[in-house]
Structure 1
Amino acid sequence: MAGRTKLGEILSVQAARTHVAQTPALYFADEVYTYAQMEAACAGAARELHLRALHTGDAVALALPNVPAFVAYLFGILRIGAIVVPLNPGLTLHELTWLIHESGARAVVTITKLARQLVSDRSSTPSLQHVISVDPGKPLDCPTTTIDMEIGGDADDTALLIFTSGTTGRPKGVVLTHRNVLANTAQVADRTALSSRDRVLTVMPLFHANGLMNNTILLLRAGASIVLQPRFDLDEFWRIVGQFRPTYFTAVPTVFARLMDAWDGRADTSSLRFVRSGAAPMAPSLQRLVEERLGVPVVLSYGLSEATCTCTMNPPDATRRAGSVGRALGDEVVAILDADGREAPPYEVGEVAVRGPNVMSGYFNAPDATAQTLRDGWLHTGDMGYVDADGFLFLADRKKDIIIRGGENISPREVEEVLLEFPSVAQAAVVGAPDREWGEQVIAFVVPRASGVLVVDELHAFCRERLARFKLPRRVHVVASLAVTSVGKVDKVRLRALASGDASPSEPLR
C-alpha cells in the first residue's frame, strides 16, 4: 500500500507506478480522474496553499461537499504537512465560525457562498487569514507540468483534527497523527482483503471520519477506484450500482433500511463481494434481510473518531457472527472493562475499551477530557458491550443511552430490535424521557413501511409478547422519518428533546 510514514505521499507514490498512474482513481458524474491526474490536482492545491504562506503544522479547515476538489485539497493540505480540519459544509455560519476558531485554522477551503459569509464575519475567527473559494461544479485542474515540492509532515505529526459530533456536549477536536491513520487504514485493508481490483461506491460524506478513512484514504492507498456520489439518492442508487459495478459500498443502517423498504428485486448486485455498515448499530433482522436480498455478506464494524475510525470488524467470509460488530483489527486490543476498570470475562457486559496504534494522541486543547478518556493505557469509549468466547464484540448501548426506569436498566437497542421485527415498521429509535414517578420512561419513534399500514394497537400487542412490562414503550410516535445527524446516525439528542416535550401526537402503550 502507498504511504509508509506520510499521508501526503500517497498520490505521488501511486502516480509514480507505471501500472497504476493511468488507472481510474476517481469517478464523479461524467468525469474520470486517473491517479496521475489526481496527483497533479493535489500538487496544484499544495502549491496554492504554499503560496499563501501555509506550512507544516498550520491548521486548514476543509468544508466541502462530496466533490473531487475535496480529495485534491485533502491531499494538498497533507502534502505541505499542514493539518486537515474537515468540517460539514451544511453547518450554519455560527457553527462553522466556532469550529474554525476552536481549531485555530489559518485558512479554510470551502464553497463560494460560505466563503463570502466567512470573509464578512472575520471578527469571529481571528486566526483565519485565508479563505479559499471553490466552485464545486467545476472540474479539477490537473496541470500537465510537474510541480516539485517536498512532502511535509512526519509519522507522529498531527495529520487531522476531527471534531466529534457533539452529541454528548460541545464538539471536541480529536487529534490524529499520520501514524494513526496509516495504521488504521492498513488494518481495515487487511481485514477486507482490499486490492487495486476494488471499485467502491461512496455515498458517505467525506468530511466524516468514515468517509475520510474508509472511503478515501484507504482506497487510494490500495490503488482502488472511488465512485464518488454527492449524496445518497434512493431513486438513483441501484442504477449507479449497475452502471459502475462496484465491488462494495458502505452505508449507515438508515440507508440500508430505505433501500430494503423500496426493494423491487430488479437491482443487479452481481459485482458486489460484500457491503459494509458502520456509524451506528444494525438490527439483526435488517442484516438478515439485506444479505438475503443482495446475496452478499453484510460486514458490520465498530469504531469512533478517537480510534481514527474502525476498531472491530467482521470478516466478509462465513466466520462472521450475526449481531456482532466483529473482532479487533490487527495490532489492536479490544477489551470489556468492569466498573473497577478490570477486564471482564466473556459474555459479561461492561465498557468497551481499545488499545492500539490507531488510538488518538488526545483531544485538542482539552487535557482534562483527554485524561478522562485515555487512562490506564486504554481508550475508554463510553460504549457498553460484551465479547464472546471467540473475541467477537457485541454492543449494547452507550452509557448515556441506558434508560433507567424505576431502578431497572433498559437497553434501547433491545427495544428497537423488537420494534424492527414488526412487519409494518421500517425504522425505529428508542430514547428515555424524564418521568416524575419512574425516573425515566421508554419512548419510541417508528417510521412505517411505505408498503404497509402501521396499527399501533397491533404493535403494542407484538411488543407485549416479546418484552417485559417495564421495557414497553410508554409512548410511540409514528413519524415520516427519524431525526438524523449529518452523517446519517439517528440523532437521539433531538429525539430526547422531542420525547420530553409535546413534540407530536402519540399513542400510549400501557
Structure 2
Amino acid sequence: MPKAANPLDPQTGRRNRLVTQTLAQDVTNFLQAFRPLQKSGIYPDRPSGQTRPIMHCIKRWGMSQAMTVEMNCIRTPDSIALVDDLGERTYKELRDDVWAFAKGLHKRGIGPKDTIAIMARNGRGIMYPFIACGYLGARMMIINPASSGRQVTSMLSEYGADALVMDDEFAGSFEIPDGIVTVIGYGESEGFETMQQLIDEDADIAMPEKARPQPMVLMSSGTTGLPKGVQVRTPKTPRILGGIVDRIPWRPFTTVQLTASMFHGWGLINVNIALGTRSTIIAHRIYDPVQAVDDALKYNVDGIVSSGVFLKSFVDEFEKRGNAKLPNLRFVVAAGNILPQYVYERITDNFGEVMYNFYGTSENNQISIATPSDLRAKPGTVGRPNLGTTVKILNEDGSEVPVGKPGLVHSACSLTFLGYLSPKDKATVRSNTLSTGDLGYIDEDGFLFVYGRADDMVIRGGENVYPKEAEDVIARIPGVDQVHVRGEQNGKVIADVDAWIVRTSDEAGAQLTEDTVKKTVLELLAAHNVPDNVFFVDELPWNDAGKVVRAKLPHPSEFDKSGPGANPSAGIDGQK
C-alpha cells in the first residue's frame, strides 16, 4: 500500500522525510555537483580575500537567500540585481532595502519561526519578503494568486500566518484574520502600510543574531477546497542546484529574463540560482510579449526562463522586429507544462541550439532536464534524470515497468518535499520514490518521456488516448494560434475528447474549420485521437504557470454548433 504523508511540526519541519538518501548517496551527489557549481560561480574558484566576512554571513544566516544577498553585497555591490516594474536595483540597494524592510517587520513583532505569507507576482513584491525571511529566521508561505478569497482566508487561519505581504490588487478580496501584520508589497491600498514605508522607516531595532533558515511552504493552486501546503526543506549546501547548472549554462553575472512565476517552485529555484551566480533578474508582474522582447533586446539577455505559451508569444513578437538579434543568448528554458515540439523548433530556428526543457513538480523538486542535443535527438523528451535524482516508472502496485512501457513517474532527490501541512493530504511513496501523478516512460537510452497527468489519459475503443498528442498536431495547423485538448471519461466506455482553439487573426485563421482540424488529426495520428468536438474561442484561460485553467473553459453545452463548420457564437468572451 502507498505510504501516506504524516503531519509535520510546522516550526521545525523535522518529523517526516517521505524519501531518504544514504550518507553514501549524499557524498556522491556533493562530489558530482561540485564542478558544475564551481563553473557557474556559485562556488568561487579561489578565495577572494573576503573569506572572513563571507563565513560570518554563512554562520549568521545559514543557507538562506539573505546570506547570498549579503555575500553579493560584499563581492559585487554595484552589479544590477533586479529589473522590475519599479526600476533597477543593485545588489547593495537590494540588500539595504530588504534589511530595512526586515527590521520594520521585526519591530512589528515578526521574528524567528514566525510565518510570513506572501501573495504577490514577480518583482520586488515577492523577492523582498522572500529574502527578508532569511534575515528574520521566519518561515515563508507562498500563496498562489489564483486562489479564491475564501481559500486565502482559510489558509491564513488554518495553516497559520503571523504576517502577510501582498500586492495591492489583492487587498479587499478576502478577509484577513485578526492579529496578522499586513503589508502591501507592490503598490498601495488605503488602510494598509506599504513595504516602501517600512523601508523608509529603517527602524532602530536589533535583529536576530543568528537566524536559522526555516522550511518553505508552497501553496498549491487547487480549484476547490483548501489548497495543499507543500513543505520544502532548506538545503544545508547549494549542491541541489548542481543538477540544474550541470545541464543549463548558468555563469557568473548572467542576465536572465524570468517570466516563470516566482510563486511556483521552479521560479524560486531560478531566483536562488541567479542570486548564487551574482546575476541580473529581469522580472515583471504581468507577462507582456512586447515588453519581454523590449527588455531582452535592451539588456541583451543571456538566458530566458519561461513556459511554452509565453515562449510562443515571445517568438511571435520577436519575429516582427525584423533583423533583431540576441547575440548573447545561451539558454531558453521551458517549464510548468510539457514543451510543445513546435515551440522548440521555432526557438531553435530563431536563436540556434539554446532550448532546454525542465521537468519537476513542487513536491518532487527537480527531476530531469533535456538539453538542446537531447531535444534534437529525442523529440519530446524531458531528458535524463538530473544529478542526485532517482527516477522510476512504476505500476500501481509499485513494481517497475519494462523499458519503453508507460507507467507512473516517481522520483526522489535531497529536496523531495517534507510532506503536506495538513494530515488530510496524502502523498504516494513507493520504492523510496514519490509519485508525480504523471504518466510516462523511459526509453532504452535512459531518456524520460511524459504524456501528462495520469488522470488526463482516457480510453476510446480500447486504446489509451493522450490529449497532448492531438494537441501537438493541431498546434501546427495553419490558422491555429493556441489550442487545448481535453478528454473526459465520465464513466463511459468510449471517452469524449474535445479541442478548444484560438484562431490566428489572418486569412488562415478565418478559413479554419472543425472539419479541417479533424481530418488533419486523422491523417497524422489515428481515429481514436480525433476530437469529438472542436470549439473556437476568443482566448484560452492561461494561468501564470502557462497552463490552461480547465475550470474556466466554457462548457461544450454553451456552444452553438448550428453554423457552417464552426461555432463562433461562444468563447471565453462570448459565452451564451
Category of TM-score, reference length = shorter chain: 0.7 to 0.9
Q: Deviations over 1:74-129 (max 9, x none)?
A: 110222111111124464432321222232111101234644566xx34xx35x42
Alpha carbons 2:144, 2:221 under 8 Å: kept: no
- The yes-or-no answer on 1:173 pairing with 2:229 is yes
How far, CA to CA, are the matches of 1:417 and 1:234 in structure 2?
22
State the Cα distance separating 1:490 from its structure 2 match.
Answer: 1.6
Q: Deviations over 1:40-59 (max 9, x none)?
A: 12211221222222222221
How far, CA to CA, are the matches of 1:30 and 1:339 in structure 2?
50
Alpha carbons 1:78, 1:84 under 8 Å: kept: no
How far, CA to CA, are the matches of 1:315 and 1:180 in structure 2?
28
Alpha carbons 2:63, 2:237 under 8 Å: kept: no
- The yes-or-no answer on 1:225 pairing with 2:280 is yes
Instruction: Tell me the amino acid that sits aligned with residue 52 of structure 1.
Output: R
Q: Which residue of 2 aligns with 1:267?
A: 324
SS at 1:236's partner residue?
helix
Which of these residues, 205, 212, 228, is aligned with residue 153 of structure 1? 212
Alpha carbons 2:103, 2:205 under 8 Å: kept: no
Pair 111,251 (structure 1): closer, same or farther in 2 beyond 3 Å: closer
State the Cα distance separating 1:336 from its structure 2 match.
Answer: 1.1
- The yes-or-no answer on 1:292 pairing with 2:343 is no
How far, CA to CA, are the matches of 1:317 and 1:198 in structure 2?
22
Which of these residues, 441, 454, 470, is aligned with residue 399 of structure 1? 454
Q: Deviations over 1:454-491 (max 9, x none)?
A: 23222222122123222210000111222222422122
Instruction: Tell me the amino acid that sits aligned with residue 150 of structure 1.
Output: E
How far, CA to CA, are the matches of 2:86 and 2:155 in structure 1?
34
Alpha carbons 2:260, 2:305 under 8 Å: kept: yes
- The yes-or-no answer on 1:252 pairing with 2:307 is yes
Which of these residues, 421, 428, 435, is aligned with residue 380 of structure 1? 435
Q: Which residue of 2 aligns with 1:209?
A: 265
- The yes-or-no answer on 1:279 pairing with 2:336 is yes
Pair 343,272 (structure 1): closer, same or farther in 2 beyond 3 Å: same
State the Cα distance separating 1:201 from its structure 2 match.
Answer: 0.9
Alpha carbons 2:228, 2:422 under 8 Å: kept: no
Alpha carbons 1:61, 1:85 under 8 Å: kept: yes
- The yes-or-no answer on 1:433 pairing with 2:488 is yes
- The yes-or-no answer on 1:474 pairing with 2:529 is no
SS at 1:409's partner residue?
strand
Higher alpha-carbon deviation: 190-199 or 259-268: 259-268
Pair 316,465 (structure 1): closer, same or farther in 2 beyond 3 Å: closer
Alpha carbons 2:125, 2:166 under 8 Å: kept: no
Listed as ranges, the matches of 1:482-497 within 5 Å are 482-495=540-553
How far, CA to CA, are the matches of 2:110 and 2:431 in structure 1?
37
How far, CA to CA, are the matches of 2:195 and 2:180 in structure 1?
26
State the Cα distance separating 1:411 from its structure 2 match.
Answer: 0.6
Alpha carbons 1:40, 1:144 under 8 Å: kept: no
Q: Which residue of 2 aligns with 1:346?
A: 403
How far, CA to CA, are the matches of 1:419 and 1:179 in structure 2?
43
How far, CA to CA, are the matches of 2:235 and 2:187 in structure 1?
31
Instruction: Tell me the amino acid that sits aligned with residue 192 of structure 1.
Output: I
State the Cα distance separating 1:68 from its structure 2 match.
Answer: 1.9
Which of these residues, 134, 137, 159, is aligned with residue 185 of structure 2? 134
How far, CA to CA, are the matches of 2:237 and 2:453 in structure 1?
25
Runs of 5+ consecutive residues of structure 2 not aligned to the other structure: 1-41, 44-57, 189-193, 568-576
Instruction: Tell me the amino acid that sits aligned with residue 259 of structure 1.
Output: F
Residue correspondences, number: 493
Normalization by structure 2: what TM-score? 0.78
How far, CA to CA, are the matches of 1:400 and 1:303 in structure 2?
18
Alpha carbons 1:67, 1:228 under 8 Å: kept: yes
Alpha carbons 1:89, 1:110 under 8 Å: kept: no
Taking only the aligned residue pairs, the percentage that are identical comes to: 25
How far, CA to CA, are the matches of 2:328 and 2:108 in structure 1?
45
Higher relative contact order (CA 8 A, sep 6+): 2
- The yes-or-no answer on 1:312 pairing with 2:368 is yes
Q: Which residue of 2 aligns with 1:408?
A: 463
State the Cα distance separating 1:245 from its structure 2 match.
Answer: 0.9
SS at 1:303's partner residue?
strand
Pair 359,365 (structure 1): closer, same or farther in 2 beyond 3 Å: same
State the Cα distance separating 1:390 from its structure 2 match.
Answer: 2.6
Instruction: Tell me the amino acid that sits aligned with residue 180 of structure 2.
Output: Q
Q: Deviations over 1:339-385 (max 9, x none)?
A: 3312223211111101110200101122x533x42344111111011
How far, CA to CA, are the matches of 2:541 and 2:309 in structure 1?
11
Listed as ranges, the matches of 1:52-201 within 5 Å are 52-89=108-145, 91-112=147-168, 114-115=170-171, 121-122=175-176, 125=177, 128-136=179-187, 141=199, 149-154=208-213, 157-158=214-215, 160-166=216-222, 170-179=226-235, 182-201=238-257
Normalization by structure 1: what TM-score? 0.88
- RMSD of the alignment, in Å? 3.0
Higher alpha-carbon deviation: 200-209 or 3-12: 3-12
Which of these residues, 329, 336, 361, is aligned with residue 418 of structure 2? 361
State the Cα distance separating 1:281 from its structure 2 match.
Answer: 0.8
How far, CA to CA, are the matches of 2:526 and 2:172 in structure 1?
56
Alpha carbons 1:428, 1:446 under 8 Å: kept: yes
Listed as ranges, the matches of 1:42-61 within 5 Å are 42-61=98-117
Alpha carbons 1:55, 1:80 under 8 Å: kept: yes
SS at 1:385's partner residue?
strand
- The yes-or-no answer on 1:10 pairing with 2:64 is no
Alpha carbons 2:250, 2:277 under 8 Å: kept: yes
State the Cα distance separating 1:5 from its structure 2 match.
Answer: 3.2
Higher alpha-carbon deviation: 185-194 or 432-441: 432-441
Q: Which residue of 1 aligns with 2:477?
A: 422
Alpha carbons 1:180, 1:358 under 8 Å: kept: no
Instruction: Tell me the amino acid that sits aligned with residue 445 of structure 2.
Output: D
How far, CA to CA, are the matches of 2:282 and 2:219 in structure 1?
26
Q: Which residue of 2 aligns with 1:460?
A: 518
Pair 492,391 (structure 1): closer, same or farther in 2 beyond 3 Å: farther
SS at 2:500's partner residue?
strand
How far, CA to CA, are the matches of 1:437 and 1:356 in structure 2?
39
